[in-house]
Amino acid sequence: MQFELEIIKWLQSFSNQFWDFFFQMWTIFGEELVIIAILGFTYWCFDKKVGEALGITVFVSLVLNSLIKITFRRLRPYVVDQQITNIRPQTSGGYSFPSGHTQGAATVFGGLAVWLKKKWLTISVIVIVVMVAISRMYLGVHFLTDVVVGGLLGVGLSWGFYKLLSKTDNRNKLYIWLLIGSGTLFVGAYLYYLLSVETTVDDSDAFLLYNSLEGAAKMVGAITGFVLGVMFEHKKVVFDNHRNLVKNLIRLIVGIVVVMAFRIVAKAVFGFIVDPEALADGQMFKSTLAIIFDFLRYGGMVFVGIGLYPLVFKRFNI
């Protein structure tokens, strides 16, 4: 809507190096590395049960975000109006509605507030989510309705999963059903896009198929890795949380390095086989292969973080 474009133009009328830097720092709170760090700290260092709850909530939330994006296919503000500048192009691929950064931040930080019930944390979460939302508009990559809906979905899912998981005795069974549901929705979306996607002036049909389903494939992979990782940890590892500051710092830093290293190496290996950025018309098999590789990469990354990496805690007494 026009008034949403005017809001973005008004925000960008204040643009300078300081505000560009300021809002790019806030938008980081909704990015993958920060979410991984929050989930890792909670699971490895603070409270394993809460970490599990946050993990499944975030992954399901972002699956829904990706599926909603490809349902509505709303273009980014800077694409709709050439007067709007894309200030942070490295985090603005795909469609606009709803905002993945805002929804991710609202889910992970909102989940923390719901589970821990600390007033200071709740206030901090409100500030973080609002600032992430404003930053996404200032940067020219989201409309007001994108960030409002993303924020509401994130908060709503955090509360809903808190109520659901608090009353569930057999969490593993619930995790499996969530995996089945997410996987079914993803397969349906893949089949629909496979039959309906068409070449555009700028992109091939194979690239559009990959670009549309990439996010959902990653998060369904993450849920798969989560379910397998939780089951493996419960049977083979069973680590404990503690309050030793030095050991927890080691757990967190090494864990983030291990998880991100797996992500980077797997991307390089899979990219050597199929380059998602160079998919030509009709290369649907290669596009599908690239989607499967993203599924495997994120599934492996989460399985390593939740299931395998905690083996180090017992082996080295950290």
Rg (CA), the chain: 20
Please say if 242 is a catalytic residue: no
C-alpha closest to that of 42 among 20, 19, 58, 23? 58
Residue after which a domain boundary falls, among 167, 193, 215: 167
Please say if 101 is a catalytic residue: yes
Q: Are residues 115 and 217 in the same domain?
A: no
The pLDDT value recorded for residue 71 is 87
Q: Are residues 141 and 185 in the same domain?
A: no
Q: Are residues 279 and 180 in the same domain?
A: yes
Q: What Cα–Cα distance (Å) separates residue 227 from each residue in 17, 37, 75, 243, 297?
A: 44, 19, 34, 26, 15
Q: Are residues 181 and 142 in the same domain?
A: no
Instruction: Tell me which of 88, 142, 218, 286 is the catalytic residue.
Output: 142
Taking only the tens place, the pLDDT of each residue in 111-132 is 999 999 999 999 999 999 999 9
The pLDDT value recorded for residue 188 is 92
Q: Are residues 163 and 179 in the same domain?
A: no
C-alpha closest to that of 234 among 36, 40, 52? 52
Phi-psi region of 281 (alpha: psi -120 to 50; beta: other; left: phi over 0): beta
In this prediction the pTM is: 0.92
244 vs 252: CA distance, rounded Å: 12
The pLDDT value recorded for residue 207 is 87
Q: Are residues 147 and 252 in the same domain?
A: no
Q: Are residues 96 and 217 in the same domain?
A: no
Domain span at residue 191? 170-318
Residue after which a domain boundary falls, among 100, 134, 167: 167
Instruction: Tell me which of 48, 69, 74, 101 is the catalytic residue.
Output: 101
315 vs 313: CA distance, rounded Å: 6
User: Which two three-digit tokens encode residue 260?
Assistant: 């991100």
Q: Are residues 13 and 133 in the same domain?
A: yes
The pLDDT value recorded for residue 197 is 72
**Sequence-ordered alpha helix ranges (H) in the chain:** 2-12, 17-27, 32-40, 48-72, 77-80, 100-116, 119-138, 144-166, 171-196, 205-232, 245-273, 284-303, 311-315
Q: Are residues 33 and 161 in the same domain?
A: yes
Number of domains in the chain: 2
The pLDDT value recorded for residue 63 is 93
Tens-binned pLDDT, residue by residue, of the chain (318 aa) = 788 999 999 999 998 999 999 999 999 999 988 999 999 999 999 999 999 999 999 999 999 999 999 888 898 999 888 899 888 876 656 789 999 999 999 999 999 999 999 999 999 999 999 999 999 999 999 999 999 999 999 999 999 999 999 888 889 999 999 999 999 999 999 998 888 777 665 678 888 888 889 999 999 999 999 999 999 999 999 999 999 999 999 999 999 999 999 999 999 999 999 998 888 888 889 999 999 999 999 999 999 999 999 999 988 999
